[in-house]
Amino acid sequence: MRRRKRKKLKKTTVMGVLLVTLAICMTLGYKQSVLKAQGKEYACQLQELKKQKKQLKKDKEDLKEFKKYVKTDEYVEEIARDKLGLVYKDEIIFEPEDSK
């Protein structure tokens, strides 16, 4: 039986491996910090989008109510009076005088 001789690693090889390992660790640390910052930014955006969603739901409900109101006789009468200036027969309108 022969004994194998163990090869000794050169100092330059060891230093090279250490430098590569250090570079990988630094890169991973940097990427981790970038991802954390992006995560915080996305969390803020998510909160803002949730607020917008809530407001849009409220606006949608308001529009549904307005749609119902538009179909009423009260709305038609209001528009006829305000926009067209129509009045009922025998109705008297009092308007204030211009103050100059």
Instruction: Give the pLDDT score at 2.
Output: 65
The answer as to whether 54 is a domain residue is yes
Q: Which range marks the domain in which residue 71 is found?
A: 11-82
The answer as to whether 22 is a domain residue is yes
> Per this entry, what is the length of the chain?
100
Of residues 61, 79, 57, the one with CA closest to residue 70: 79
C-beta separation of 75 from 69 below 8 A: yes
- CA–CA gap between residue 21 and residue 19 (Å, rounded): 5
Token look-up 């998510």 returns 46
C-beta separation of 87 from 93 below 8 A: yes
pTM exceeds 0.85: no
The answer as to whether 69 is a domain residue is yes
The answer as to whether 98 is a domain residue is no
The answer as to whether 90 is a domain residue is no
pLDDT tens per residue across span 26-40: 999 999 999 999 999
Number of domains in the chain: 1
- CA–CA gap between residue 22 and residue 89 (Å, rounded): 93
pLDDT tens per residue across span 45-85: 999 999 999 999 999 999 999 999 999 999 999 998 888 88
The answer as to whether 93 is a domain residue is no
Both tokens assigned to 25: 């660790």
C-beta separation of 62 from 68 below 8 A: no
